[in-house]
Amino acid sequence: MKWLRGISFLAVIAMLFTACNSFRPVYPATYTPPAPSQTHPAITLRPTNTPTPKPALITPTPRTSALSIVWVINSADQTIIGIDPYSKQIVDTIQIDGIPRDIVTGEGGIWVVVSIDAEHSNLLRIDPYSRLASSHIPTMNGEATIVTAGEGFIWLSVAKDYAFNQAAGGGVEYSRNGAVMQIDPNPSKIAETFGITAAAADLFPEEDTLWVLANRNTYSVINKVDLKKQSVTTLPEASLASTETQRFAHFTKLGSWLWMTPQEIDSHYIYQVSSSTGLIHDKIRVGNKLLDSAVQITQDGTFLWAALRSGKVVKMNPASLEVVKVIETEATGFTDLFFSSGFLWAIDEEEARVFQIDAEKGELVSSYSTGSVPPPRPTPTITETPNPDLIWALCNEAFTTQLQIGERAVVNTDPPIPNRIRKEAGGDNAILGYIEPGEVVKILDGPICLSKWVWWQVSSLSTGLTGWTSEGDGVDYWLLPYDR
């Protein structure tokens, strides 16, 4: 039976082989290629008179990132306003719960000084991407005034309560003390607090040093804060006579010098002050007209820039001590001047205007309206009822004062003798004019105790004459309260 099984197996194999061959294609015995197609002549390219087009040169417009938006404040509307410096448009307005007083962008945030009420203020941090508030830092026992960014930190000045302090040339004055908070932006907390000589008028962080311009009633000092040693040095170190002191409003540092704007509205100079002694070394004349006095100052690393009361912005060479460029604007005054996103920005908060300047070309690029103009300050209500709690002693051997800053006073008519108005407190300073018996004045600053006399800075409501005058001579009061 084995041979039968073998024959059956061979038969099956033969059937499969035949089936596979039936599926193979059948080719003809000979292959005839297709006829060749018609041949086309070759194309020859010849030069023509048409010039070859050149690719267009396209200057890309910078794309504005969230950190390139320039932010400014409008205290009247209680808003901050974001400006795109490249499209030259206002791109956002954020409502603030409180009154914004100062603002800076840096260290990963938008930082806003906010006054909540007469006794409370804080530092608000806004995320530049979401534009939502991310944190706030309350200021205890003081009023937050100025904020700036630099060297990895945020710096916040705080004006403390009034206290008796030494006046220039001896004597005593009643002025505010101050402090500066060093704030770590991550995670938005106070790292250190430095007590300074007086309320800060301006701040400038530089590597391991924080420079602070601090103002008393009669003089300005420079506080040099050593951040490594955690120490504060006051310049000038020696006590100066009243005729040698100077009062400054703002400053910047360029090279080894401090550059100061004066408080005097009739000064035409920027002062060059030594950073080692705090003494005036030289000065730059910024203009010749009546309102050509500097109110703000900044620098770009090479040149100085100042904003004047006349609405001009001037560029100065610190080496030659000369003005090299004058830029006209429509501003009536300036409240800030700074560089951001490649441009110089001049702020006129009183008119709610912002001016964008190309510093390299030295020309005005654009201007913006930020909203409502702040209203005029209200006139205080007149009351004739004296408040004995407001009569207080200023210094030893001086009579008690009856006046306060912000109130009005009237020149005593008994005897009917006018009061002298002097440029500074003290009987040896220049006389600017007189206020007559019965004339009402607004008290702006003071008091200062010199030679047993109490001095106040006043402004006449009828003539506008502004300067310093004595409340009396220790026997008679020459100025009397008008609002009480």
Tell me the DSSP string of 410-466. Answer: EE--SS--PEEEESSSSTTSPEEEEE-TT-EEEEEEEEEEETTEEEEEEEETTT--E
Does pLDDT of 25 surpass 50?
no
Cβ atoms < 10 Å from Cβ of 369: 13
> Which range (216-220, 364-368, 475-479) has the least confidence?
216-220
CATH 3.40.50.300 is right for the domain spanning 66-369: no
322/402 Cα distance (integer angstroms): 48
Better-predicted residue by pLDDT, 27 or 191: 191
**257 — pLDDT class (breaks 50, 70, 90):** very high
Say if residue 2's pLDDT is above 80. Answer: no
102: part of which helix (H) or strand (E)? strand 99-106
Average pLDDT, the chain: 82
Q: How confident is the model at residue 466 (pLDDT cuts 50, 70, 90)?
A: very high
Q: Of all residues in the chain, what percent carry a pLDDT higher than 90?
A: 54
Buried b (16+ CB within 10 A) or exposed e, 235-254: bbeeeeebeebbbbbbbbbb
Lookup result for tokens 């080692």: 276
Given a cut of 90, is residue 284 above it in pLDDT? yes
Q: CB of 410 within 8 A of CB of 419?
A: no
Domain boundaries, the chain: 66-369, 388-481
Q: Which residue has the higher pLDDT, 259 or 448?
A: 259
pLDDT value at 22 more than 50: no
Task: Look at residue 377 in the predicted model and tell me its pLDDT.
Answer: 47
Q: pLDDT tens digits for 70-116? A: 999 999 999 999 999 999 999 999 999 999 999 999 999 999 999 98
Distance CA 368, CA 102 (A): 18
At residue 213 the predicted structure's pLDDT band, cuts being 50, 70 and 90, is very high
pLDDT of residue 172: 66
Neighbours of 282 (CB within 10 A): 13
pLDDT given for residue 247 in this prediction:
85
Looking at CATH, the fold of the domain delimited by 388-481 is given as SH3 type barrels. (2.30.30)
Q: What band does 253 get if pLDDT is binned at 50, 70 and 90?
A: very high
pLDDT tens, position by position, 123-146 = 999 999 999 999 999 887 789 999
Model pLDDT for residues 352-398, shown as the tens digit of each residue: 999 999 999 999 999 999 999 987 644 433 333 333 333 344 455 56
Position 170 pLDDT exceeds 70: no
- Which pLDDT score is estimated for 51? 47
* pLDDT at residue number 157: 96
Mean pLDDT, rounded, for 446-464: 84
Highest mean pLDDT among 240-244, 328-332, 479-483: 328-332
CA dist., res. 138 & res. 259, Å (int): 32
| 8 A C-beta contact, residue 306 and residue 322 | no
pLDDT of residue 469: 93
Per-residue pLDDT at 228 exceeds 70: yes
Query: For 81, which DSSP code?
Result: E
Q: Residue 484 above 60 pLDDT?
A: no
Whether the Cβ atoms of residue 173 and residue 457 lie closer than 8 Å to each other: no
- Counting residues of the chain whose pLDDT is more than 70, the rounded percentage is 78
Task: Please give the residue that has the higher pLDDT: either 471 or 119.
Answer: 471
Q: What's the mean pLDDT in 330-354?
A: 95
Whole-model pTM: value is 0.70
Between 238 and 308, residue with greater pLDDT? 308
Report angle CA 175, 179, 109 to the nearest 5 degrees.
130
